[in-house]
A and B are shown apart, each in its own frame.
Chain A
Amino acid sequence: MQVEGLTRQVTGPEGVLLILQDVSFSVMPGEACAIIGTSGSGKTTLLGLLAGLDVPSSGRVRLDGVDLFALNEDARAQLRGRMIGFVFQTFQLLPGLTALENVMLPLELAGRSREARDAARELLERVGLGARLRHTPVQLSGGEQQRVAIARAFATRPKLLLADEPTGNLDQVTGERIIDLLFELSRAQNSTLLLVTHDEQLAQRCNRRLKLDAGRLVDT
């Protein structure tokens, strides 16, 4: 992944506000990279841009050689479906679906309905939820929900895994187990891991750390 001169500004009641300012870096395949910084430093905005969920005011993101913002919204969605997995702080499971169905969803959206059920079951067993396939999110604990989210993120064997404060809503012990799982799976699938956190300890476990301060990259 190559990031060049990424800038994001918004116009608010007090004039133009720079959320991200000229951010550039690159991440190699298989690397695990942490984006750290205090609240409001622009971490989540950066993650949104890297995933193509938002468009920058200027700058470029290349993913596997593809310029993300040269694509339209639909093409970016397809690219996400093919190449990117997500883990969110708030888990973001579909509340109406069971654990199994949540994990099946990205495969089904990518047109791989046939293999979806088996692949999802296998992944859920791997994250230790083989016995909870038919449970809906509300019947699962926070840690279990995040494990479902991780299984879902890896269902399509993405090249890039983006995680936004994956342990933010979890206690320390559960959080550590989740992180272990995340690293284990990304290593097994040889995925690039990019995680946003303000947890120094977690950041230490990554190959690289990118520190953001007031929208600028201050340390790589």
Chain B
Amino acid sequence: MNLFWFSLRMLARDWRAGELRVLFVALLIAVASVSAVGFSVDRVDRALHRQANELLGADALVVADHPPAPDVVQRAHDAGLKSAETLSFASMALAGDKNQLAEVKAVSENYPLRGELRIAQQPFAPEQRAQTIPPPGTVWADARLLSQLALKVGDVITLGATQLRIAAVLTHEPDRGSDLFSIGPRLLMNLRDVPATQLIQTGSRIRYRLLVAGDAQQVQNFRAAVTPLGPGEKLEGVEDARPEVRAALERAKRFLGLAALVSVLLAAVACAMSARRFTARHLDNCAIMRCLGARQSTITRIYLYQMLALGLMASLAGCAAGYAAQGVLTGLLGQLMAVQLPPPSLMPVLTGVATGMLTLLGFVVPPVLALKGVPTLRVLRREIGLPARGVSAYLFGAALFILLLLWQAGEVKLGLYLVASTAATLALLATAAFALVRALTLMRGRVGVAWRFGLANIVRRASGSVAQIMAIGLGLTALLLLTLVRGDLLASWQGSLPQDAPNRFVINIQPDQLGALREFFTREKMPPPEVYPMVRGRLVAVNGTSISPANYADQAARMIEREFNLSWMAQLPGDNRISAGRWWSDSASGEHALSVEEGIAKTLGIALGDRLTYNLAGQEFTGVVTSLRKVEWDSFRVNFFVIAAPGTLEQYPASYITSFYLPDARQPLLSALVKSFPNLTIIDVAAIMTQVRGIIERVTLAVEYIFIFTLAAGVMVLYAAIQSTQHERLHDGAMLRTLGASRWQLLSGVAAEFVVLGFLSGLVAAFAASATGYVLAERLFHLPYHFNPWLWLMGPGLGAVGVGVAGLLGSVPVLRHPPLYTLREV
């Protein structure tokens, strides 16, 4: 016999008989939610990526210390990419008897490829989008440069051997360098004017950039075609964007990843519950087939083929449903999202099908395949069920599931957190469920007939009830996590960048100006800003060994080349956390202790206990690394890579840095500030903050959007859990009706069973959601955790009411149909 075809025929028969629908729908919703999440994450991710690309002004760029090689330009052209060139250097800009070192950037047509340039007609006047680049013979200068040279729009500025007219004030350029504090005032000019300046000489320190943009595949092709690059050349993508934006994107991915993972988790639980039911409903069939001569291997193959066929169909249907669902929702949300979402890629289909099949293999196939072990004697004695299974059947599922989570998480840490919290939640749920079932045994004698029947049902199906409570609890945990905890986390995230977060940095404050600056702010009725000392220095030796950029790879080499800002302080800044070692105590001041930011320590290979020697204005200073810090760069507060203990750096020449919040209405204050303290450099980070806020807002929307699917998966778990005992309940109900139970008694019994199940699952879920929320906030998202008392009301309340109502609705057929019909039917 061709077992495969036979299985398919059995599948068709089972399908007709309605035996497979619940499982199919569970799997379909699983894959639909996963693929809808996948499609959405894919699209949103790419939209976010594109937005982040604005910060590069391109999708990728080649940075070099020489003009881009013709073949690299040709490759960009061949790949179908748009391209633009820039070169930047520092040069003295002259106006009358004044001069100022300016950061000059010369750009070609098409610049920028992503994002936009914005200009204004005078400093701090309303800005507008620039349609072109500065025409030849003109430049755009930023407000700082104009103020320092006492120039206005229309004046002429001398740059090298040429004179250029200032045509506008530059207010925004998308790819403003990656280090806020090392940028001088900006002068933007046309690339065609560069030869006339005669500033490009052998030995000039010039950075050439070739910007490219196109679709993801074209960029990928270009990246592949130009690698390996020649000496002095470097390829940068969005990963190399500003640390603030990178941190925001990291969090964004985690939020989205988490939403996707929770739906995978829920889907698996729904499938496992459906599979339990399927197995229970097929015990008789298998016993009869065994009795009619089917071998164990025949049973195994019949069900394996069936499940694989079912899984494939459900997965494909789920992908289609997921695609349709995300299409509708993206249509709805398209207006809310400021950017056009790019079309989805095919990857989520593969992910969806793979997730569906893995879920099936891990959670449906093991219980279904256990059917082969059904004792044939069941045909004579119906009470004989499946022999108790060991843990091994679940181990396979658990192992597959961990792999699935790690794969979906795309990140080991997130995956492991999820695995650990799921395992902990399940263990907690199982313990609580066992205790509950035990406790109910004692309660039975003390309640009325309806409640006794309901409670007795829970106790009678002890192992089933435990599984039910675990599934309902897990479903509720996920729902609570996604509604309340998610809201809290997003609020915390938005709260991490409040509206009045500092949006201007002021550097180069001299020690003797501190008093006058404070007076200035008081006079202007602004809160006096907090100032931090800053000493500039170059790292020259590690553990007594001299270092030079040549010893280090690209990024590290650049870090060694430039000067660091070192500071000293007694208290650890609020948004910094010690990740290794210890922060100094008050008594320890005077020691040459250093605290280094974790990221830079990793890049430079610095470990705790290393001795770092800095050249500070010609003098050498050596300190020992006693701690590593994690810095929240997207907090936009003043932060330092290296902090020294108080009493170590005071003797070196220092300047001060501060940051403050400037409301839009107080713009004129900047001119007054520059006039009073001409040496100060004011850095405007409002534009970058707006960009980060934009990302946060969009991610919040995206998470809300993806949440709908996860919610559907959660509801499906509850449905499957309730459904898993549906037949037994219908049968029992019909029996009770036959014995004369009233409608009210019957409903009370069912209500008692489900309200108790729901209440206790909800209680456990509230605990699990609180604990998971805490771990997620503290460990994964690095956001402050706020205890939410609503969890403890919503969990048990939602559980009791929701599960109670669902259970009652599921029992309506008992009341509607004559008992005999129900008895025969089930």
Indicate if B13 sits at the interface (CB-CB under 8 A): yes
Indicate if B17 sits at the interface (CB-CB under 8 A): yes
Mask: chain B, 357-386; 1 = CB below 8 Å from A; 0 = not:
000000000000000000111011110000
Indicate if B708 sits at the interface (CB-CB under 8 A): no
Residue from B2, B19, B298 in contact with A109 in the complex, judged by beta carbons closer than 8 Å:
B298
Residue from B284, B291, B375 in contact with A80 in the complex, judged by beta carbons closer than 8 Å:
B291
Residue in B5, B17, B285, B380 with the greatest tally of chain A CB atoms within 10 Å: B380
Mask: chain A, 100-144; 1 = CB below 8 Å from B; 0 = not:
010001101111110000000000000000000000101000000
Residues on the B chain within 8 Å of A164, using CB: 380
Query: B291–A86 contact, CB under 8 A?
Result: yes
CA distance in complex: A82, B293 (Å)? 7
Indicate if B290 sits at the interface (CB-CB under 8 A): yes
- Closest B-chain residue to A82, C-beta based? B293
CA distance in complex: A32, B1 (Å)? 33
Indicate if B294 sits at the interface (CB-CB under 8 A): yes
Residue from A92, A101, A111, A112 in contact with B288 in the complex, judged by beta carbons closer than 8 Å:
A92
Task: Tell me the minimal C-beta distance from A68 to chain B in angstroms.
Answer: 13
Task: Tell me the minimal C-beta distance from B2 to chain A in angstroms.
Answer: 7
Residue from A54, A94, A98, A110 in contact with B285 in the complex, judged by beta carbons closer than 8 Å:
A94
Query: B292–A80 contact, CB under 8 A?
Result: yes
Q: Are A109 and B293 also in contact (CB < 8 A) when A88-B380, A101-B13 are?
A: yes
B contact residues, total (Cβ < 8 Å): 31
- Closest B-chain residue to A98, C-beta based? B13
| Residues of chain A from 70 to 92 with CB closer than 8 A to chain B in the complex | 73-74, 77-82, 86, 88, 90, 92
Residues on the A chain within 8 Å of B19, using CB: 96
Indicate if B98 sits at the interface (CB-CB under 8 A): no
Task: Tell me the minimal C-beta distance from A76 to chain B in angstroms.
Answer: 8
CA distance in complex: A169, B825 (Å)? 17
Query: A77–B380 contact, CB under 8 A?
Result: no
Secondary structure type dominating chain B contacts: helix
Query: A96–B13 contact, CB under 8 A?
Result: yes
Query: B289–A138 contact, CB under 8 A?
Result: no
- Closest B-chain residue to A45, C-beta based? B380
| Residues of chain B from 1 to 50 with CB closer than 8 A to chain A in the complex | 1-2, 5-6, 13-14, 16-17, 19
Indicate if B297 sits at the interface (CB-CB under 8 A): yes
Residues on the B chain within 8 Å of A110, using CB: 1, 293
Query: B381–A80 contact, CB under 8 A?
Result: no
Indicate if B66 sits at the interface (CB-CB under 8 A): no
Residues on the A chain within 8 Å of B14, using CB: 96
Residues on the B chain within 8 Å of A98, using CB: 13
Query: A47–B289 contact, CB under 8 A?
Result: no
Indicate if B675 sits at the interface (CB-CB under 8 A): no
Residues on the B chain within 8 Å of A101, using CB: 13
Query: A138–B825 contact, CB under 8 A?
Result: yes
Residues on the B chain within 8 Å of A95, using CB: 17
Indicate if B295 sits at the interface (CB-CB under 8 A): yes
Query: A138–B284 contact, CB under 8 A?
Result: no
| Residues of chain B from 770 to 824 with CB closer than 8 A to chain A in the complex | 824
- Closest B-chain residue to A97, C-beta based? B13
Residues on the A chain within 8 Å of B292, using CB: 80-81, 86, 105-106, 109, 152
Task: Tell me the minimal C-beta distance from A72 to chain B in angstroms.
Answer: 10
| Residues of chain A from 132 to 165 with CB closer than 8 A to chain B in the complex | 136, 138, 152, 156, 164
Query: B16–A74 contact, CB under 8 A?
Result: no
Task: Tell me the minimal C-beta distance from B826 to chain A in angstroms.
Answer: 9
- Closest B-chain residue to A49, C-beta based? B377
- Closest A-chain residue to B17, C-beta based? A96
| Residues of chain B from 269 to 308 with CB closer than 8 A to chain A in the complex | 284-285, 288-298
Q: Are A74 and B297 also in contact (CB < 8 A) when A86-B291, A86-B379, A108-B1 are?
A: yes
Query: A51–B16 contact, CB under 8 A?
Result: no
Residues on the A chain within 8 Å of B285, using CB: 94, 96
Query: A77–B377 contact, CB under 8 A?
Result: no
Query: A111–B13 contact, CB under 8 A?
Result: no
25 contacts between A and B (CB under 8 A): A44-B380, A44-B381, A47-B380, A53-B380, A54-B376, A73-B296, A77-B290, A77-B376, A79-B293, A80-B293, A81-B294, A82-B293, A88-B379, A92-B291, A96-B13, A96-B16, A96-B17, A97-B17, A105-B289, A105-B292, A109-B289, A109-B294, A110-B293, A113-B5, A138-B824
Known: A53-B380, A77-B291. 12 other contacts (CB 8 A): A48-B380, A53-B377, A73-B376, A77-B294, A78-B293, A88-B379, A94-B284, A95-B17, A96-B13, A97-B13, A111-B1, A164-B380
- Point out residues on A near B: beta carbons under 8 Å: 44, 47-48, 51, 53-54, 73-74, 77-82, 86, 88, 90, 92, 94-98, 101, 105-106, 108-113, 136, 138, 152, 156, 164
Q: Which 7 A-B pairs have the closest CB atoms?
A: A81-B293, A96-B17, A111-B1, A106-B292, A53-B376, A74-B295, A53-B377
- Point out residues on B near A: beta carbons under 8 Å: 1-2, 5-6, 13-14, 16-17, 19, 284-285, 288-298, 375-377, 379-382, 824-825
